[in-house]
A and B are shown apart, each in its own frame.
Chain A
Amino acid sequence: AQKVTQAQTEISVVEKEDVTLDCVYETRDTTYYLFWYKQPPSGELVFLIRRNSFDEQNEISGRYSWNFQKSTSSFNFTITASQVVDSAVYFCALSEADSGGYQKVTFGTGTKLQVIP
């Protein structure tokens, strides 16, 4: 079973549309962190947000917002009024402790977002 599932492989939207990228995770830990990263065509990983398992408050940063719901094990990411520069692959990731107590980060398979002008 996937620990981090991003069911949407590719999404295309027209510029200025809102778009939500889904992320569902699986963990037995009570303490864990969730991340979103953006990977533009140039290839680097750009950190967007980190959320801890005890903070279910939704977060808004400019056009970006995140909806964390422990009840459904989801951490969805919404881009409002999308722009062409938002075109990228977006990865959701889960940080938890492995059996030895060390941090283990697992990435989802990514969602490729294409914003059409």
Chain B
Amino acid sequence: EPEVTQTPSHQVTQMGQEVILRCVPISNHLYFYWYRQILGQKVEFLVSFYNNEISEKSEIFDDQFSVERPDGSNFTLKIRSTKLEDSAMYFCASSPRDRVDDEQFFGPGTRLTVL
């Protein structure tokens, strides 16, 4: 069964460094998402992406964040200058369409630790 994959599973970085989190969505899906979960808290929407542009973003997704689909398979989340409060689990998701009745399939997550 096709699944969303994410690499790395755990990333440790120093405050102020740039990180790139990678996701490979399910191959025939068109809509891509990033979510964040700070330890012990709920999962929060960051951004949705379609047709090579952001379709929706939350207030969390500020200028430090960017997303990109550099090739036909990867979908990346870049944090330019990490802060301690960026430490969280980051989940990528994809769906065939962006209709409300389409399920989003989640990847296993990348745990980001900022020291």
Residues of A participating in the B interface, judged by any CB pair closer than 8 Å:
29, 31-33, 35, 37, 43-45, 47, 50, 52, 91, 93, 95-98, 100, 102-110
Chain A residue contacts of B43, Cβ below 8 A = 45, 91, 93, 107
- Grouping DSSP codes into helix (H, G, I), strand (E, B) and loop, the A interface class, with mixed when no group exceeds half, is strand
Contacts A106-B45, A107-B44 given: A96-B100 contact, CB under 8 Å?
Answer: yes
Q: What is the CA–CA distance of A93 and B103 in the complex, to the nearest angstrom?
A: 11
Contact B109 A45 (CB under 8 A): yes
Contacts A43-B89, A98-B56 given: A29-B100 contact, CB under 8 Å?
Answer: yes
17 A-B pairs in the complex with CB atoms less than 8 angstroms apart: A29-B100, A33-B100, A33-B103, A37-B106, A44-B106, A44-B108, A45-B43, A50-B103, A52-B101, A91-B42, A93-B43, A95-B104, A97-B100, A102-B48, A103-B100, A106-B45, A109-B41
Q: How many inter-chain residue pairs (CB < 8 Å) link A and B?
A: 60
Chain B interfacial residues counted at CB < 8 A: 25
Check if B81 is an interface residue, CB within 8 A of chain A.
no
